[in-house]
């Protein structure tokens, strides 16, 4: 099982709406994440907009590719893109760069 952690930056003027959107994630998006191997997926948001994502999966690249193949992911990413800083034209899911794990207490 891979543990994956990544960082993104949410625009501070959109924090409240970002939280609201994630309080009601579309059921078809949740189903797609589960079907493509995203487990124990969490997002943490700091008041300055720092977003920390964490998930567990058997194969992160396969899980990303599985989501890329879904129509619901394309719609979700298009709606979420305006919430983020520094995407340089990339979709939020393309901007997820896993951090290197340096310690884990099992």
Q: Kind and range of the H or E element at 26?
A: none
User: Is residue 22 among the annotated active site residues?
Assistant: yes
pLDDT the model gives residue 91: 77
Whether 78 and 29 have beta carbons less than 8 Å apart is answered as no
Catalytic residue of the set 3, 19, 22, 46? 22
**In this model, does residue 89 exceed pLDDT 80?**
no
Whether 7 and 51 have beta carbons less than 8 Å apart is answered as yes
DSSP for residue 95: S
% the chain with pLDDT above 70: 98
22-73 residue pLDDT tens:
999 999 999 999 999 999 999 999 999 999 999 999 999 999 999 999 999 9
Spell out the CATH class of 2-83: alpha beta
Q: What is the rounded CA–CA span in Å between residue 66 and residue 20?
A: 26
């Amino acid at each position: 099982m891979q543990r994956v952690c990544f960082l993104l930056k949410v625009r501070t003027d959109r924090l409240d709406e970002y939280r609201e959107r994630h309080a009601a994630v579309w059921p078809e998006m949740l189903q797609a994440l589960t079907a493509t191997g995203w487990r124990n997926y969490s997002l943490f948001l700091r008041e300055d907009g720092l977003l920390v994502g964490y998930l567990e999966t058997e194969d992160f690249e396969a899980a990303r590719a599985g989501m890329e193949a879904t129509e619901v992911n394309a719609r979700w990413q298009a709606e979420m893109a305006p919430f983020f800083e520094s995407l340089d034209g990339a979709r939020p899911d393309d901007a997820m760069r896993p951090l290197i794990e340096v310690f884990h207490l099992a």
